[in-house]
Amino acid sequence: MTSRNLHRTISLATKSTQLALAAPQVIAHRMSRIAMAGGNFADHDVQELARMGSEKQTAFIASWNAMALQALRHQNAFMLAWFQAAWMPWFRWGMSPTSVATKLQSAAVATLLSGMGPVHRTAVANARRLGSKRRR
């Protein structure tokens, strides 16, 4: 594994762990807020609940778009390499089974990492924002 692939893999693992820690904190804070309010929501509670739905939709749409664009880029690169190997066999474009597997792994990690970005940013920002309000 190249250092670039290793860095991306570590970054994906780090972001996944941070997301796994931030999401339950945000959910717990919002659910306790709903439970404490009962049926009488204050204005800031209503705003938080509305924000909860809209920012999830925005983050997941951005995530799917980022993954689709990244997958399209990798698909184009693989097709170009395949056509070059098929039409110009005298050039070896690094198409050994090991290099193909490494490139596929790199493409998968890059696609997952690009999709993780918007969801990770939103969840971690919410955990910080809601956690700082609780400390006041």
Mean pLDDT for the stretch of residues 10-37? 91
Amino acid at 110: A
Structural domain contains residue 7:
no
Q: Which tokens is 100 given?
A: 């193909």
User: Looking at residue 4, what is its pLDDT?
Assistant: 81
- Higher pLDDT, residue 15 or 131: 15
Residue in this structure with the two tokens 């050994």, named with its chain if needed: 96
Region for residue 41 given its phi and psi (left: phi exceeds 0; alpha: psi -120 to 50; beta: otherwise): beta
Q: Is the pTM of this model over 0.85?
A: no
Give the 3-state secondary structure of residue 14. Answer: helix
User: Looking at residue 92, what is its pLDDT?
Assistant: 61
Structural domain contains residue 100:
yes
Average pLDDT, the chain: 86
Task: Write out the residue range of the structural domain in which residue 117 sits.
Answer: 17-135
For residues 116 and 129, give the distance between their C-alpha atoms in angstroms, rounded to a whole number.
Answer: 20
Structural domain contains residue 6:
no
Q: How many domains does the chain divide into?
A: 1
Structural domain contains residue 4:
no
- Higher pLDDT, residue 82 or 60: 60
Mean pLDDT for the stretch of residues 78-103? 74
